[in-house]
Amino acid sequence: MTMTATCLDPITSPLLEGVTHGFFTRVGGASTGIFAGLNCGGGSSDQAEVVAMNRARVAAELGVSPEALVGVHQVHSADVTTVHGPTQARPKADAIVTATPGVALAVLTADCQPVLFADREAGVIGAAHAGWRGAFDGVLEATVEAMERLGARRTRVRAVIGPSISQSAYEVGQEFLEHFMDANPENGRFFVNGVDGKYLFDLTGFGLTRLRAVGVTEAEWTGHCTYSDPALFYSYRRATHRAEVDYGRLISAIRL
């Protein structure tokens, strides 16, 4: 795969109209080889200077300096951090919120759910990395609560789940199913039978249900499957199935 274009083409949602945001694809990046495209993952084995170049392109697309593109050290938790200005600190957390204009909040994913939040009236935004574990442990609810501490109201918050692995590609085992069923038997609705005793898990359906249950009624998934479209998206699971040595990370970001 060769990608030489410098024009980025982020996915946006009408739900977040009026707030600068984007779920960025692989398009327009400087990385090559298995990372070809817009790899923004500093934790990958891609060249650090190329990742920095890719992130600078994202920042420019959002209208901020590279220093104002703020992220966290993601650890599959339900922890949220609040920022009040550009910072290079990357605390261990999986969501980030702010009420400060000019700061772009960013999360990295490669199958997990990137979720962008906004209460435009209050001027509060958030971004969350929600894999199955983070979503199960409550990272989405915790993000809404952190936004409320900055003046947002959950009834006004809009949330959009970006490109994520779809149910048709998310095969899991019996133990995974039991983990969800033990917590709440109603979680069975997020599973369908697969092959060879496996199941298929609806990660984005689970995420949307958690969002609506906490009072975020205006929520949607963009409908893009990371696993199924290698031209546009990186995918941890696809890279694993192909026995590739590493994989790129997609970036999703939002700013006031």
Length of the chain: 256
Domains, the chain, ranges and CATH? 14-255 (3.60.140.10)
pLDDT value at position 89? 83
The predicted-structure confidence for 63-112, as pLDDT tens digits, reads as follows 999 999 999 999 999 999 999 998 888 899 999 999 999 999 999 999 99
At residue 83, what are phi and psi to the nearest 5 degrees? -120, 150
Does residue 108 contact residue 128 with C-beta atoms inside 8 Å? Answer: no
pLDDT value at position 6? 64
Task: Specify the 3-state DSSP secondary structure of 97.
Answer: strand
C-beta pairs of 167-171 under 8 Å, 24+ apart in sequence: 167/192, 167/200, 167/201, 167/202, 167/203, 167/204, 167/205, 168/200, 168/225, 168/228, 169/225, 169/227, 169/228, 169/237, 170/200, 170/201, 170/202, 170/203, 170/227, 170/237, 171/198, 171/199, 171/200, 171/201
Count of beta carbons in the 10 Å neighbourhood of residue 229: 14
DSSP string, 15-46: GGTTSEEEE--STT--B-GGG-B----TTSSS
The segments of the chain whose pLDDT lies below 70 read 1-6
pLDDT value at position 7? 87
